[in-house]
Chain A
Amino acid sequence: MLECVPEGKTEHTTGKINPAKTCQPIGAMYASLGIHGCLPHSHGSQGCCAYHRMHLTRHFRDQVLAASSSFTEGASVFGGASNLKTSIKNIFKIYNPDIIAVHTTCLSETIGDDIPNIIKQSEIPEGKIVIHTNTPSYVGSHITGFSNMCKSMVAYLAEAQGETKKEQVNVIPGFVNPGDMREIRRIVTALGVKLVMFPDTSGVLDAPLTSKYQMYPEGGTTIAEIRDSGNSEVTLALGAFASNAAADLLQEKCGVTGIPLKLPIGLKATDDFIMAVKDWFGADIPKEIAIERGQVIDTLIDTHFHYQGKTVAIFGDPDHVIAMTEFVITMGMVPKYVLTGTPGKEFEATVTKMLDEAGITGSRVKAEGDLFELHEWIREEKVDLMIGTTYGKYIARTEDIPLVRFGFPILDRAVHPLMPVVGYRGCLRLIEQISNAFLERRDRDALDEDFELVL
């Protein structure tokens, strides 16, 4: 596999080798797909749009539609205003979406196109909407792009009608799969609280196959719902990196209280999420949820000897990695290397604090890292398990370490976008995957004389 990777410490200070992040627009595109009747639009040359659609399609195995301003050299020199205006006109005529969500690329950002102005000068049919966000790829990562588009949804759409708030909760779910969003909706609904969740890609990127094709499937948050988010009492921002910006703006613009939480991945984070809803609304915890939690505890006790004390490398998007790190600590594992590609010092502070509180020493934590660096660490001192995206599989194979696929993207495994990792049900799925990774390993490695029915 990676025989070319040099042994020992190398000088690697410039650029990325095997990046653990990608660029902003793909995050913005994903968020836009979570609005019902929305066609995302990429303002730049068509290559970016083609790449982003392809990559999302490979992760979700479902259609990802988005248009592009299709710049050629001329537009790159003279500006993309006329391309964007033509795009908007053509899109409404041919594809008839309710709303177009424009994001920029590093090309249109470098030129400095003034998007809000161009939108103002565009022909927009009665009742239709165009929103935009800036997503320069030389800042942040795909998570920043997701965050920026969520913030734009608030900026363009959310409205507070008067002072009195409705007894409803906004949930900004973060860059998670449609299966996760569906599960978050189920949990809040089970608690008997009315919910506005945006974006919501369930029903869009996990739409059923009925042979009756819909360009805009039934799922997604409606524009009316996002408008109404300004009237909610409280916003739960799940994952600081992806969701805080939108929640902060909702607070500022519409006076909706924002509560920052972790992604509800793992026992504690799910507890916190449910308690936040309970505390604010005085909701009763229904029996079904209590049972699910009890099942997680039962499973943790049943399985602890498979994974307790094992060392693990966790990598991927910051909100995912933070929540997962907390969960594996709960499971008694040792997060040895914790790495995200997205820049942000808060990441290192948050993870280091969790490790300190758990009394774990000797771990390495890094934001804005890459997988080459992670590989170097692993070569210095091996771990028992890797948890992260598909791109970790090269290291996993070279160093012969099991890999539990988690986060975005997972390109080489099926069905995962529909299966939640959030909530108590998500805990069960993660425990299953982690336990079984170790068990499969034992089955594979056991000597003939040690091989038994149950190892």
Chain B
Amino acid sequence: MDGMDTTLEELYTQYPDTVKKNRKKHIVIKSEADVACPQIEANTRTIPGIISQRGCAYAGCKGVVVAPIKDMITITHGPVGCGYYSWGTRRNKARADSTTPKDKIYSQLCFTTDMQEPDIVFGGDKKLARMIDEIVAAFHPRGINICSTCPIGLIGDDIGAVAKAATERHGIQVLAYACEGYKGVSQSAGHHIANNTIMQNVIGKGNERKPGKHVINVLGEYNIGGDGWEQERILKDCGYTVNCVMTGDASYEDIKNLHLADLNLVQCHRSINYIAEMMETKYGTPWLKVNFVGVEATNESLRQMAKCFSDPELEKQTEEVIARETARIEPALEQFRKICRGKKAFAFVGGSRSHHYQHLLKDLGMEVVVAGYEFAHRDDYEGRQVIPTIKSDADSKNIPELHLKADEKLYREGNEYLNLSKEQFEALKKEVPLNYYEGMYPDMKNGDIMIDDCNHYELEELIKKLRPDLIFTGVRDKYIAEKMGIPAKQMHSYDYAGPYAGYNGAINFANDVAHTLTTPAWKMIVPPWERIEEPDTGKQEGANDA
């Protein structure tokens, strides 16, 4: 602990006083002496001039939540860049299925109004409306999303009015997301805006419940590298009907029917907890925070789910799947453990993954000593019980809160969804954390660091001081770490591999991590002529001794 305190003090010394004061609040050392997680500052402004990893509200809204909806066309209203950069970047896989034929999948196209100077001066409403008309005529989509970017908010285009008029004109839903990049302090604002719009306009519009005894939704799963498909495979084997994986490979048609499921699973807490919560208020649907990254974590999530339904057949089938899958992958995992065991890692990914991946790494015998998020809120670190105590500042006030009421026709109590009596439901809640998330803190170990919005300087210093064996991060930091001789894996897009979720994912991940650690080149960084002259630089030779 003390060692870590000194390390951090040294790290702060280069900061101007105001920066130091600010950044100190974003960094917490885990101490087992503390009963609860000390308060960590999160979801507050990035300091100007700091090389942060954060993106903007538009990236959170369009890039994360909205764009993966495969049968809707998403138009970025703004100059060309924003739409272009969020085109095909997140690897949200999609395929045709019973609700979505091939010619209704638009995921590989990029639509932007490409605003030009006169449009900025005179307004872009008309241009947007014209583009919608052309697109409807050419593509006949089931629905259209409009996402606005920074200048649109400033020039005051009323995208809501354009969407409303287009909806009437074309008889399909056209949705407007006012997700200008400057809203809030990070992607997080955009997640919230997307959640609000989808909740208000799409969910609840359908009335077709999928056949099956236990119908569930997976929320906050974006099917990067096929993660969602692996989860669907497992869930189906256990006996569930997956109504919708949202929004990875989700169709507009399925999202309309989201309320017709018995249980919502929440995978990425940060980006989708709003919908889970709003559905609980409006329809009574219970939700369960799950984690399908990691073998033990997957098993645990499956067991908790099975408990929710108190159906002996389901529990039996779940145990069979767990036994079968674990036995299938265990021998291979054991081989990889030989390479991975005892290695120290840093994890900086998105809104739940820095937590999720700790479980998978634990399965491999590795430990995460520094972890953090780019755009999380306090509850992602400290647990949902802190939500009432979070003070809303000017930046978060700009994002409207929907105050929903129970739906007169459709609301049912949580226990009814699960076919339980009130008493059974109360007893279940004691066993399974329904409608709750405990945050990352409990899974960290004594002396580990939690760091919010870790910036380039802090990363560089922490690497120098702690010399981890491996770093999990985004593409922007990957090459920085590697230049320092530390292997890095890109965890936003998995270095273009995957899936990493579920059982098959665990094997893929273990294989990729093992390869990352054992690439022979790591041992050859020092050229032979330097090795001869200074034989004792041998320590530098390999970044790891695998």
Contact = CB atoms under 8 A, between A and B. Distances in A.
B543 A16 contact: no
A88 B49 contact: yes
Given A1-B108, A70-B50, A209-B483, A14 B182 contact: no
A13 B81 CA distance: 19
Given A138-B116, A215-B460, A110 B155 contact: yes
A125 B117 CA distance: 37
A68 B479 contact: no
B58 A47 contact: yes
Contact of A14 (B131, B480, B543): B131
A74 interface: yes
A68 B85 CA distance: 17
A304 B503 CA distance: 52
Contacts of A109: 151
A336 B69 CA distance: 36
B57 interface: yes
Contacts of B484: 211, 213
A183 to B, nearest CB: 23
B181 A45 contact: yes
A189 interface: no
A211 B476 contact: no
B19 interface: yes
B395 A95 contact: no
A62 B483 CA distance: 9
Given A57-B475, A73-B183, A213-B460, A87 B49 contact: yes
A190 interface: no
B483 A47 contact: no
Given A26-B81, A76-B154, A87-B49, A61 B395 contact: no
A4 B119 CA distance: 29
Interface string A162-192: 0000000000000000000000000000000
Contacts of B480: 63, 65, 213
A50 B84 contact: no
A110 B180 CA distance: 13
A309 B459 CA distance: 55
A94 B457 contact: yes
Contact of B48 (A90, A95, A209): A90
Nearest to A53: B476
Task: From B137, B183, B475, name the one whose CB has the most chain A CB atoms within 10 angstroms.
Answer: B475
Nearest to B77: A15
Contacts of B19: 90, 93-94
A35 to B, nearest CB: 17
Interface string B67-85: 0000000010011111111
B46 A4 contact: no
A3 to B, nearest CB: 4
Contact of B54 (A50, A57, A61, A74): A50
Nearest to A10: B138
Interface stretch (B99-107, B222-230, B258-266, B270-278): B99-107
B81 A48 contact: yes
Contacts of B89: 54
B137 A15 contact: no
A137 interface: yes
Interface in B103-161: 103-106, 108-117, 119-120, 127, 130-131, 134, 137-139, 149-151, 153-155
Contacts of B194: none
Contacts of A107: 150-151, 154, 181-182
B457 A110 contact: no
B124 to A, nearest CB: 10
Contacts of A18: 87, 109-110
Contacts of B50: 67, 70, 90, 94
A52 B84 CA distance: 11
B482 interface: yes
A94 B14 contact: yes
Contact of A4 (B87, B109, B155): B109
B80 A19 contact: yes
B166 to A, nearest CB: 13
Task: From A24, A107, A136, name the one whose CB has the most chain B CB atoms within 10 angstroms.
Answer: A107
B109 A51 contact: no
B414 interface: no
A17 B137 CA distance: 14
Interface in A291-309: none
A200 B137 CA distance: 47
A41 interface: yes
Contacts of A73: 182-183, 394-395, 398
Task: From A21, A61, A94, name the one whose CB has the most chain B CB atoms within 10 angstroms.
Answer: A94
Interface in A350-387: 372
Given A48-B181, A63-B483, A90-B47, A72 B81 contact: no
Contacts of B106: 4
Interface residues of B, number: 87
A64 interface: yes
Interface in B165-196: 181-186
Contacts of A65: 51, 456, 480
A4 B139 contact: yes
Contacts of B113: 14-15
B48 A86 contact: yes
B525 interface: yes
Contacts of A391: 87
B150 A110 contact: yes
B59 interface: yes
B540 interface: yes
Contacts of B84: 19, 21-23
A394 B120 CA distance: 31
B525 A11 contact: no
B21 interface: no
A111 interface: yes
A26 B83 CA distance: 14
Contacts of A1: 108
A46 interface: yes
Nearest to A394: B108
Contacts of B109: 2, 4-5, 17-18, 372
Contacts of B59: 47, 50-51
Given A4-B105, A22-B80, A137-B81, A15 B14 contact: no
A406 interface: no
B131 A19 contact: no
A1 B102 CA distance: 8
A237 to B, nearest CB: 25
Nearest to A43: B48
Contacts of B14: 93-94
A66 B186 CA distance: 17
B55 interface: yes
B502 interface: no
A44 B150 contact: yes
Given A51-B81, A90-B19, A15 B394 contact: no
Nearest to A69: B48
B518 to A, nearest CB: 17
A13 B126 CA distance: 13
A19 B79 CA distance: 11
Contact of A55 (B85, B103, B110): B85
A263 interface: no
Interface in A176-224: 207, 209-211, 213-215
Nearest to A412: B496
A235 B50 CA distance: 37
Contacts of B110: 16-19
A127 interface: no
11 contacts: A1-B108, A17-B110, A18-B87, A52-B81, A58-B475, A63-B476, A64-B476, A68-B52, A93-B14, A137-B81, A211-B525
* Nearest 6 Cβ contacts at the A-B interface: A47-B56, A23-B81, A211-B485, A87-B49, A90-B49, A137-B79
Given A11-B138, A13-B134, 16 more contacts: A3-B105, A4-B109, A17-B111, A22-B84, A23-B84, A46-B54, A47-B58, A50-B476, A51-B55, A51-B82, A64-B476, A75-B182, A94-B49, A95-B51, A107-B151, A210-B483
